[in-house]
Chains A and B, each alone.
Chain A
Amino acid sequence: MNARLQGNTVISIFDTKTLFGDVVDIIDQLRAERDTPLSKRAHRDREIGRGLVARSSQPLAQLREWLRHHNHSEAESTGGSRAVAVRRGMSLMVALCGLVVGWGVATALFYYDGRHPVNTVSILGVFVGLQLVLLVMLVVAMLPLNRIPILAAMQRVLRSFSVGRIATALARLFPARVRGDVAALLDTGGRRSHGWSKVVQWQVFTWSQWFAVSFNVGALVAAVHLIVFSDLAFGWSTTLTISTADASAWIDRLAAPWRWWWPGAVPSMELIDATRYYRLNQGLLPGVPPAVDVAQLGQWWPFLVAAMLCYGLLPRLIALLLSYWGFSRALRDVLLTTPDAVALLDRMNTPLVETGAPTVDRDPVEGAALVSAGTTSHGLGTTVDVVDWAQASGDADRVGSWLHRNGTVLNSYYEAGGAQPLHGDSKVIKGLATPGPTIVLLVRGWEPPLLEFSDFLRELHDTTGEQRTLVVLLVGSSQDLSVPNDPADVEIWTTVLHDKLGAQLRVEDAHHVFPQRDGDETDISPTPGSTA
């Protein structure tokens, strides 16, 4: 069955090989991709997912199709292909073991040297009785763990005694690379997710069934071989006190499944009665009682072969199919609960919504490191000229009175920036061109310094030359020059104007020049005031 075409969630047990390889590859691939940027994976996976809209309800098929898109080179040896090879090799070895053991056991049980007949009780005991007991144990072992408390301990014991574990023992005979692949398959290092333990459990179970099936096949082949190529004499004998009638009833029950389609394989009462032998009966073989037809001694074989087929091989074939089904199911579950795979399905099936910038900032400008601002004033001097930039104060009288309080005389007051026309700025600069006192530029501290202000400052400096000191005085409130600025704002102004004009330019917080005094009006808002 072509996995590419099948790809549905109804698991096919005939697809186990490719499914297993795919699951290993998908998990490995997703793990390897963890460091790939998510945006890259999101685009690629959504692109694949959009082509698989028709399979949006078939997650397993989607994941396998994703793998096909991903693996361009099918010939390349992947973890999955190696795991498949290891698994196949192990299965073959286990099957071979089963075949040899089955052949050997059957050869021993069907052994006939002409002195004693082949005891059918022994054959039924091993190929029916023992196998049925083992089947019961198998069912108990495979019941969900921890559901029935009293059985849990027994289940653990049975699981640890699984014949499938001989595969791991056989692995030791191989080179280190193969041993590594087996270890990866059985997750002896515990690197895989928790669900993988179920995969391992089903894998061991599958190997057990391969052993059992090949054991029965080997036994059947050996039995048929001996039946065909030698002359066997069958009888039955037991120490237990079982009457022929009871034995006949048991045998009838055993033969019930094939009674209708193979009546020749149901021993008759006469045959049962005639072929019973006792320890002390020296006459049967050799020296068969004259009443017994020697030909009857060989008539047990159809029954024995049918019993081996029905109670030995058939249940194990069913168990083998079941094991493949369980293995596939465990594989599907482990894949669909692996967080990476779940995330992949999401990426494939959910519209890719992107809101961020597709590219990184093409020309990032590092913000200059902030320069810490001074916490004291250097003083303004006895007389100052004031430029009120963008109506930082907006009132010459107010500025004058604040300066007066500080012992400074307002020589002249200009307005620039803000809503003033550009030629107004030029007039201000012309007005300040002559030598004079310190020029105080009142600016609103909460607004950032713009290039427009820097232009004005430079032009003013170029016009006044080195003779006049420029103080950029940051006001925290238009109405109250004693209101402190936000320290972060002062830092920004200091940073931007730092190194602009050298020692001639200072940036100060008006709060340091006009500290609040006791008795000052307190009804002025400490937050930036209105310039309206």
Chain B
Amino acid sequence: MIPTFAVVGHPNKGKSSIVATLAQDDSVRISAVPGTTVACREFPMRVDGEVLYKLIDTPGFQRARSVLAWMRERESTAAERPQIVREFVDAHRNGDQYADECELLSPLLDGAGILYVIDGSRPFGSEYQAEMEILRWTGQPSMALINMIGAADYTEQWSRALGQYFRIVRRFNAFTARFEKQLELLRAFGELNEDWREALLRAIASLERERHHRRQLSAREITDMIIDVLTSSITKKIAVDTAPEDHRSRIEARYRDSLQKRERRCRDVVERCYDYHGLVRQEAELDVMGGGLFSQQTWLMFGLSKTQLLVTGAAGGGAIGSGLDMALGGASLMLGAGIGALVGGAAAWYSQQHLSDARILGLPLGGTELRVGPMSNRNFPYVLLGRALFHHRVVAARTHAHREQLDVSDAAVASAAGALPAPMRKQFEQRFAALRRGGQDIAGRRWRSEFATLVEAAIVHSSAQTSLADASAS
């Protein structure tokens, strides 16, 4: 039988939050108003279609005392209690009075384990006793989860009460639980029933692999983004008689927008890797502009720059001169090649202005090429990397119970890259320098793959640093 766990409890105590976190599903409805969850909703954990376990989100108890009273009226022996629960559900399944209770008890009658959720930041209340008693009557294996919604801590009080009804009591904060904590909880589910353990262990192994895979995907996307941003440039060819300044602000804006858009796309992809859909981000835009980004140069026939035209002229002249040298059987001591190169180069150099003014079939043979980018600031790649690492860290650490905006506007994010160990930083520097030199051409498949591995290592390092900081803070 597939391990199934029904998350039950009082309304508004974080059942849906816990389900959202464990199921990594941000579509779970979480509302402050009680009664939002009116029907059970299943969250099967599947690997290639095979269900390894199921979580079921249920409505909260609304009339627990009445239900317990109904059951007690029919109780004769303890052995009959599960049957009485079944009778209760059968008797009220189609009515409105106990719709929530019938809905939440049904999966338990089908064999689901109980995950009873309470809010450990609020005091224990006597009305919870009826709920816990009803759950005990079902005879299903059970575990109590102390969720911490607020800041106050009534864990001890709750532990004493829960300990009387549940063999296993665990603390689990749906909003702050890191992935490792979530797996730890899943492992604990295996303690409820020996038969469930194997499937749960397989599920845990799959989730760990998936987590690693998500990190790899994110690293690859970050790598692609860094390569794209660092090698990106915008060029515009204008006629010689056009003032470059008329175009400058426009192409600078286009350049800035394209880089910022690329970074945002990377963030979207990383968020999707972690199953977040439509997260609203609070973010500071990438600061792109800096000195030395804008340049202009004259271009001539066939899109050649001045230097290229010079080389072409010199090479052409040299080749002709070499022909003469050969014709003279070497008697000219290669003077022909030298003179030819000089003459060709000089002719090309002095003809530039005339060429750029000339037109063939109405098309100019030359003009001015305006260019913005690529970014050559040596610190910029680290800013970019730092922002990406920071964003990934925030996304990976977030749980799906959160509904507020993703805040990645922290100005100090650049330190995420600054805190990398020196050898790693050196490797990054080598790659950034290679990109500055060779552009996209050097970023072949293997190069990208190696770079992505390095980025992944930086992600791991960054996460480890955060975990250490969290541990020391706690």
Chain A neighbourhood of B105, CB < 8 A:
none
Any B CB within 8 A of the CB of A208: no
Chain A neighbourhood of B224, CB < 8 A:
339
User: What separation, in Å, do the CA atoms of A422 and B36 have in the docked complex?
Assistant: 26
Any B CB within 8 A of the CB of A225: no
Which residues of A (39-74) have their CB < 8 Å from a CB of B?
Answer: 46, 50
User: What separation, in Å, do the CA atoms of A357 and B40 have in the docked complex?
Assistant: 11
- Measured CB to CB, the closest approach of chain A to B65, in angstroms, equals 6
Any B CB within 8 A of the CB of A452: yes
Give the nearest-CB partner of B301 in chain A: A160
Interface magnitude class on chain B: 35 or more
- Contact of A367 (CB < 8 Å), options: B27, B33, B43, B65: B33
Any B CB within 8 A of the CB of A531: yes
A123-164 vs B: 1/0 string, CB under 8 Å?
000000000000000000000111000000110110011000
Contact call B29/A146, Cβ cutoff below 8 A:
no
Any A CB within 8 A of the CB of B377: no
B58-74 vs A: 1/0 string, CB under 8 Å?
00011111100100000
- Measured CB to CB, the closest approach of chain A to B199, in angstroms, equals 14
Any A CB within 8 A of the CB of B366: no
Any A CB within 8 A of the CB of B339: no
Chain B neighbourhood of A153, CB < 8 A:
304-305, 307-308, 311-312
- Contact of A450 (CB < 8 Å), options: B27, B31, B62, B302: B62
Contact call B444/A333, Cβ cutoff below 8 A:
yes
Chain A neighbourhood of B41, CB < 8 A:
357, 361-362
Any A CB within 8 A of the CB of B335: no
Interface magnitude class on chain A: 35 or more
Contact call B124/A531, Cβ cutoff below 8 A:
yes
Chain A neighbourhood of B217, CB < 8 A:
343, 346
Contact call B25/A447, Cβ cutoff below 8 A:
no
Contact call B157/A530, Cβ cutoff below 8 A:
yes
Any B CB within 8 A of the CB of A400: no
Which residues of A (335-357) have their CB < 8 Å from a CB of B?
Answer: 336-337, 339, 342-343, 346, 350-357
Which residues of B (188-218) have their CB < 8 Å from a CB of A?
Answer: 206-207, 209-210, 213, 217
Contact call A531/B206, Cβ cutoff below 8 A:
no
User: What separation, in Å, do the CA atoms of A492 and B25 have in the docked complex?
Assistant: 25
Contact call B33/A368, Cβ cutoff below 8 A:
yes
Any B CB within 8 A of the CB of A455: yes
- Contact of A352 (CB < 8 Å), options: B35, B49, B438, B444: B49
Chain A CB within 10 Å, residue with most, of B42, B46, B209, B302: B46
Contact call B206/A146, Cβ cutoff below 8 A:
no
Contact call A160/B123, Cβ cutoff below 8 A:
no
Contact call A450/B34, Cβ cutoff below 8 A:
yes
User: What separation, in Å, do the CA atoms of A364 and B213 have in the docked complex?
Assistant: 33
Any B CB within 8 A of the CB of A495: yes
Chain A neighbourhood of B61, CB < 8 A:
450
Chain A neighbourhood of B28, CB < 8 A:
357
User: What separation, in Å, do the CA atoms of A256 and B48 have in the docked complex?
Assistant: 65
Contact call B47/A353, Cβ cutoff below 8 A:
yes
Chain B neighbourhood of A390, CB < 8 A:
125-127
- Contact of B63 (CB < 8 Å), options: A356, A358, A452, A492: A452
User: What separation, in Å, do the CA atoms of A457 and B162 have in the docked complex?
Assistant: 29
- Measured CB to CB, the closest approach of chain A to B270, in angstroms, equals 13
Listed in ascending order, the chain B residues whose CB lies under 8 Å from chain A are 10-12, 22-25, 27-29, 31-39, 41-49, 61-66, 69, 100, 122-127, 129-130, 152, 154, 157, 206-207, 209-210, 213, 217, 220-221, 224, 272, 275, 302-305, 307-308, 311-312, 315, 327, 329, 437-442, 444-445, 448
Pairs of residues from A and B, 9 with the lowest C-beta to C-beta distance, nearest first: A356-B25, A419-B126, A367-B31, A448-B34, A451-B62, A153-B311, A353-B210, A367-B33, A418-B126
